[in-house]
Structure 1
């Protein structure tokens, strides 16, 4: 491994990159280095990149490790290579004189490696895309972020995930589950929808329905005093201004855990459902991409206003 001050020139699919500080430890408890972060993102890239395609990226950078200061970065920095795709978008929710952000869109391995070298450990994306030839963003996923309030754990989150799967199936949707890589889970469904505001309304309706049916387990309201011992079904992640951690993204935890797609058998079995980067690479080698159904049209069902009941 190179010395901390040494820079290494590499060719990544025809792009010349300068990598630095490869032996700098970014996960102190695990001794996991920046070189290992780059190695993970390089090896997972064939599976990860389709989940980032055409989505404006927000990263969490940890230049001195997961136990030190971090910052969110949305706007492409001045040092962004000219071969990295960027897309200029209005800031959602701003006033009429809206400012814009030049988001990075990850399309290929060189961009992935370049970001990993910046210690961009966490990758967060919205539930909509900005395809090159599209006239406007296209919402294609509805997500439910399951956040357990202590002493509830991922075990309770898994119970709620199963309830969600069944409710969504009644509306014709195929659900996919993954860990957050932290303490919770996410359940997502691929959708076809024209109205960008409809996914949030629909998710809110589903969350309220589950809260009414399972008041001892589920809460749909953000009030912190209501959350202990229950699982918050966070429907607000579908707001066009919000992002959710991408499948296969590392998380800034003591160990290099990953937001990991799951089988429904694993969700039913429960357990800690925590997987590190090396374990995820082994899982992909064995199972392939368990969230592959979020990418194509095979499982995509129509979301309509008829599915939402105003209360």
Structure 2
């Protein structure tokens, strides 16, 4: 079978999918259909030494291309880390992806071509990637590729990225076939050192260490660590460098290896010698000095020149530990281990690990590729990271950027496809600030903007649209602290996703805000209207009612005014709909007038320019109690809170589509009763 699944598994796909969806619902996975273009890879940071630690899992790091795979609009797609499409180059993988009997699956894995020994061979993979469509079909039989899948980003209309890694892998194992070109990437729950030792013995690239509970975050993260395996190979000593400073003997050894009967220079090993070795080896080397190099330069490199470099007859053999051979043909991070008296120089061949001479860049494909929907790398040049933005707390601009970057998985769904308005504080919260709707002309080409006609200025205003983390970081790097958004999306700006009731206390006690919020929820329950709540980050609360884009702004305003009237009628002593501040008489303003075209709402998770750096935080209804304060949630604890909570309690406001006609009928009945 193309998918590697049995006929029974294919026939029972619907039944198999249902319990998985039920599990995802219980885990709080957002019900949101993802496309590959909506996702960005999670990348690992580098660590030098292996380790073992509770709460971490370990995987073998394979030598291939990072690849996302999915089936969209009935067609399979394979996209590399750099956004190149490889669907035609690897038809065997594409067929297997298309044959997966589940909908909305997005896989993340490493694409490899295995040699006869069953180990990844990067050169063979590169050769496959260069082929055109016709040659690729033949190569799929002669040197088939395998996609080792280690993560699952989406399934059946659910976004899995916020779930813990081990949960994502648990579901991944259930949906992947037991055989075929799609393979589940196994992991080990402890003893990373033991796995690392086995990887070194097998000549594999290294291991990955991952936090078991880590969500899938776009960009580089310390929750994932890559640990490259050292390699030890024999090399011929071809020269040495003169010592520097007080060091005696020599500086480093020049080494090479034979390839096609030619001795090729491979670089140097400049450490790992004891004092005794320096003296002993130096005497041997001095006796072997010659005027010309005994070796040729590597294909893409050159021999070192100058009076500090001395060449010797190729008589000695040594072991060298190194990370890899670079695209210039030189050893990286090489360390002398020992001399090998048992080896003849002519027996030392160029290491055949499949990694020599390769670079890290992907080749151009042999056939023209259609434009990729995955954007090319976006660079943000950060500035003034040490500038203090919150003097009392000492929080810097760099802290603010890191907060927004780390909160992007939760924040971006609220920003997606919405015009964003900035309030910039280039000198921090105590400095001057200014409002910015119009994107300046100097923004990079990859920043998305949308023109919206302004009656006030009689021209188009280019609003920012922040769909990706790089755009978010770019905006914050401008000195932006709070982010305000439209309640409608750019594909139809006339229809908001939610209706907003803003409980604004001004000088009223916050306990009155709590009382009114609870009453608002009770009213919503009476009329069958879902309701969600978040702190504003300043002094009040926002209650958001999902509309499913079924109303215009004018209808939304009238809808909100009905709720505001019911709440204020039940609490005339503490609530008012009076817009003029001087006429509120110390009461909480139940504001329905935010529901007009062009009006803005501070985005969930947005930071406020106030002491303590509070944020607008989505909360559960049972958190609306006497302990609730806007100051409870800050840039210092927001991420930890969300990771502990495990889900966003407000996110469904973007998805729900209630039956509004029934809600309106019950609202009018309540108003008649009151």
Secondary structure, aligned partner of 1:145: strand
Cα distance between partner residues in 2 of 1:238 and 1:285: 32
In the TM superposition, residue 156 of structure 1 has moved relative to its aligned partner by: 1.8
2:513 is the counterpart of 1:164: no
- Report Cα offsets for 1:92-150 as digits up to 9, x if no partner: xx37x94221111110010011011111110001211113xx5x543110011111132
TM-score (norm 1): 0.87
2:424 is the counterpart of 1:49: no
In the TM superposition, residue 180 of structure 1 has moved relative to its aligned partner by: 0.6
2:531 aligned to 163, 168, 175, which one? Answer: 175
Secondary structure, aligned partner of 2:625: helix
Cα distance between partner residues in 1 of 2:509 and 2:479: 29
Secondary structure, aligned partner of 2:500: strand
Match of 1:279 in 2: 637
Cα distance between partner residues in 1 of 2:404 and 2:483: 11
CA contact (8 A) 1:62 1:68 kept: yes
CA contact (8 A) 2:511 2:626 kept: no
2:398 aligned to 19, 31, 35, which one? Answer: 35
2:444 is the counterpart of 1:119: no
Count residues in correspondence.
292
Match of 1:106 in 2: 466
1:78 aligned to 433, 436, 441, which one? Answer: 441
- Report Cα offsets for 1:32-71 as digits up to 9, x if no partner: 1000000000000011000001110111110011111111
Match of 1:295 in 2: 654
In the TM superposition, residue 224 of structure 1 has moved relative to its aligned partner by: 1.5
2:387 is the counterpart of 1:24: yes
Secondary structure, aligned partner of 1:144: strand
Unaligned stretches of 5+ in structure 2?
Answer: 1-218, 221-375
Cα distance between partner residues in 2 of 1:266 and 1:37: 26
In the TM superposition, residue 165 of structure 1 has moved relative to its aligned partner by: 1.2
Listed as ranges, the matches of 1:189-208 within 5 Å are: 189-192=545-548, 193-208=550-565
Secondary structure, aligned partner of 1:83: coil
In the TM superposition, residue 306 of structure 1 has moved relative to its aligned partner by: 4.7
Cα distance between partner residues in 1 of 2:533 and 2:627: 13
C-alpha distance 184-303 of structure 1, shift in aligned 2 (>3 A): same
CA contact (8 A) 1:88 1:100 kept: yes
CA contact (8 A) 1:130 1:138 kept: no
1:224 aligned to 569, 581, 588, which one? Answer: 581
In the TM superposition, residue 226 of structure 1 has moved relative to its aligned partner by: 3.1
Match of 2:504 in 1: 147
Cα distance between partner residues in 1 of 2:626 and 2:570: 23
Cα distance between partner residues in 2 of 1:137 and 1:109: 26
Listed as ranges, the matches of 1:254-269 within 5 Å are: 254-269=611-626
CA contact (8 A) 1:56 1:104 kept: yes
In the TM superposition, residue 181 of structure 1 has moved relative to its aligned partner by: 0.4
Cα distance between partner residues in 2 of 1:260 and 1:271: 11
CA contact (8 A) 1:155 1:271 kept: no
Cα distance between partner residues in 2 of 1:110 and 1:147: 33
- Report Cα offsets for 1:184-239 as digits up to 9, x if no partner: 11110111323221111111122122222210111011122332432101111111
TM-score (norm 2): 0.41
Secondary structure, aligned partner of 1:16: coil
Cα distance between partner residues in 2 of 1:21 and 1:182: 27
Match of 2:594 in 1: 237
CA contact (8 A) 2:415 2:485 kept: yes
Cα distance between partner residues in 2 of 1:25 and 1:14: 30
Higher RCO by CA contacts (8 Å cutoff, separation 6 or greater): 1
RMSD over aligned Cα, in angstroms? 2.2
Secondary structure, aligned partner of 1:72: strand
Unaligned stretches of 5+ in structure 1?
Answer: 1-10
